Amino acid sequence: MRTLDDDALIRIAGSLMNQIKCKVDETGSRGVVLGLSGGIDSALVCHLCSRTVDTKALLLPEVGLTSDEDIDDAVKLCEALGVDYSKIDIRDMAEMITDSYPSKLTPGSIPYINIRPRLRMLFLYICANEEKRLVAGTSNMTEVCLGYCTKWGDNAADFLPIAKLWKTEVIRMAEILGLPKSIIEKRPSAGLYRGQTDEGELGASYPVIDDILYRYIVEKSTLSEIYKDHDKDLIDSIVSRVEKNGHKRSMPQSLEVDL
């Protein structure tokens, strides 16, 4: 796993802020909009964007599922950063879609759960279109490599400010930039069902996951080499996610026309 000291992370943060401004300027956009969940990834993106361009946050909780703590953290962050925000409860809309679908969707199933991120994407692009903003995505490198996202949901964006940072680096940058401890120390979760945590679903802590991914993807280490340092079943599970979810990292394939 690469090692970035504090100075390097500060330089990277400055570079990211410059790139965000260039992206907005070159597209003639008014600014950016992002979905703010109360988690560390969206909090870091909100911080970086708000320091350089006009930033709007949409808080899109599902009341009854999203924790009050997450909502409070998101609101307090917006107030601290001076970011304009709107809060929209997606619960009734999610239930309406579920009830309208011809077949009964099983609560907790993938189709049922994925309605939520796709609804949030819908609102982000409504705001982007109406206010001439770019959608700033909040995916990090770990999530991108794993395909740990909903296709055309939380991975849908116009650009991804932190997609070259591993999750462990996101946490360290957030600490260095002074983001609230309540956000930094929170267990990462997509908040798609009660009790859900990223590390619970993935089967290991992010430092372990990042080390496996870095060695497999960046260093091109063989599985035999990685097996020496980590659990074999865990490694196989992570590698399987990387390979199976490659379609989430590319645009739809255009089929060839044979003349």
Write the pLDDT tens digit of every residue in 151-187: 999 999 999 999 999 999 999 999 999 999 999 999 9
- pTM score, two decimals? 0.95
CA 171: distance to chain centroid? 13
Among 198, 214, 229, identify where a domain stops: 198
Q: Are 215 and 136 in contact (CB under 8 A)?
A: no
* Cβ burial 165-188 (10 Å sphere, 16+ → b, else e): bbbbbbbbbbeeeebeeebbebeb
Q: Tokens 């945590």: give the residue.
A: 197
Residues 23 and 39 in one domain: yes
The answer to whether residue 122 is domain-embedded is yes
Q: What is the pLDDT of residue 1?
A: 85
pLDDT digits (tens, 9 = 90+) for 104-120: 999 999 999 999 999 99
pLDDT digits (tens, 9 = 90+) for 192-246: 877 789 989 999 999 999 999 999 999 999 999 999 999 999 999 999 999 999 9
Q: What is the pLDDT of residue 193?
A: 77
When divided into structural domains, the chain yields a total of 2
- Dihedral angle over CA of 206, 210, 216, 218, nearest 10: 160
The answer to whether residue 119 is domain-embedded is yes
Rounded mean pLDDT of the chain? Answer: 97
Cβ contacts of 217 within 8 Å, gap of 6 or more: 145, 242
The answer to whether residue 94 is domain-embedded is yes
Q: Provide the domain limits for residue 208.
A: 203-246
How far apart CA 78 and CA 55 sit, in angstroms, is 10
pLDDT digits (tens, 9 = 90+) for 5-51: 999 999 999 999 999 999 999 999 999 999 999 999 999 999 999 99
Residues 181 and 208 in one domain: no
Give the residue among 38, 6, 22, 12 at the shortest CA–CA distance from 141: 12
pLDDT range class, residue 57, cuts 50, 70, 90: very high
